Amino acid sequence: MDFFKQHFKAETLLEGQVFAIDKPLGWTSFQVVNKIRWHLKNETGLKKLKVGHAGTLDPLATGLLLLCTGKKTKTINELQQGKKTYEGTFSLGATTPSYDLETEIESRYPTDHIKEDLVHQAAQEFIGEITQYPPLFSALKKEGKRLYELAREGKTTDLKARTVHISKFEIKKIALPEIYFLVECSKGTYIRSLAHDFGVKLESGAYLSSLKRTESGSYSLKDAFTMESVVQVDSDKNIKSVKLTS
C-alpha cells in the first residue's frame, strides 16, 4: 500500500503520475481507465481528474497497460513511441474474422506439412521492417466509426497497409497446433495481423489465441499493479472502492 499512500493524493494526481496496471482478461483498456478514474476521484474527493492510457490492449489481451493522470496525460504520445514486448500463442490450422478468439472460426486449413524447421524459418522472415494490414475488427476509425463497429454491421472496409518493425520474433515452444512466441516490436504493430500473416506464410491459417504485453518502453509488467490492488473486483467485473489508509 506504500505506493498508494505516496502517490494517490489529490495534489500528486493532478500534477501527474504514470503507473503500470496488469490489465485483466476481458476488460477493455477504456474500462480500466474509467474504473480507476472513478476510484481515484472517489478516494481523493476530486471532481475532475484526467486519466488516460498509453497503448491500447484488446479485451482478450492481458498485461502491461500504462496509465497517466493529470499533467502527465500530455506525455501519452511520447510513451506510446516505445517498443513493445509481447508473449502469446498462435493457433494454427484455422482463421477467424477478428484474427483472434473474439469471433468464431470461419475456415480451417491443413497443418500436416508444418514442421518445426518451417515454423522457425517463417518467424525469421518477419524480423525487420514489414507491411501489415490492420484487422477488420480494430479500434481504428473510418468516417467517424470504429472499424469493429463497421465489421459487426457486415460492412466491408478498404484498409490501408502500414509499415511496422519487428526487432525480435522468437518461437518459445511448438506444440501443434499451438505456437508459443515472444515478439518485440514497434508502436502500431498488430499481433493479431502478425498471427494471420504467419499462418499464410506457413501455407495454412492461424489466429491469436492468447496475448500478454510484458514491456512498453522502459516499463515492465513485473512492476505493474493488479486491478485488485487498486480496487476490489468481483467475478462480474464490477468494481468497488477500496479504502486506502492515510
Grid-cell match 477488420, residue found: 136
**Residue-range domains of the chain with CATH:** 2-81+218-240 (3.30.70), 84-216 (3.30.2350.10)
Q: Give Cα separations from 172 to 56, 175, 205, 209, 211 (angstroms).
A: 25, 10, 19, 15, 14
Largest CA distance in the chain: 62
pLDDT score of 27: 94
Q: How far apart are CA 23 and CA 79, in angstroms?
A: 17
pLDDT score of 112: 96
Q: How far apart are CA 93 and CA 110, in angstroms?
A: 6
Is 58 a catalytic site residue?
yes
- The residues facing 23 across adjacent strands are 63
- The residues facing 164 across adjacent strands are 130
Q: How far apart are CA 142 and CA 153, in angstroms?
A: 14
pLDDT, tens digit (0-9, with 9 covering 90-100), for 44-99: 889 999 999 999 999 999 999 999 999 999 999 999 999 999 999 999 999 999 99
Low-confidence ranges of the chain (pLDDT < 70): 1-7, 137-158, 232-246
pLDDT score of 153: 53
pLDDT score of 2: 45
pLDDT score of 42: 84
Half-sphere exposure of residue 193: CA atoms within 13 angstroms, side-chain side: 21
Q: Would you state the cell numbers that stand for residue 10, as one nine-digit string?
A: 489529490
pLDDT score of 242: 33
DSSP output for 183-196: EEE-TT--HHHHHH
> For residue 199, what is the enclosing H or E element?
helix 191-201
Q: Would you state the cell numbers that stand for residue 197, as one nine-digit string?
A: 500473416
Q: How remote is the C-alpha of 42 from its chain's centroid? A: 27
> Closest Cα partner for 170 from 93, 90, 69, 65?
90
User: Contact at 8 Å (CB) between 195 and 99?
Assistant: yes
DSSP output for 135-185: PSSSS-EETTEEHHHHHHTT----PPPEEEEEEEEEEEEEETTEEEEEEEE
Q: Which listed residue (22, 58, 100, 197) is catalytic?
A: 58
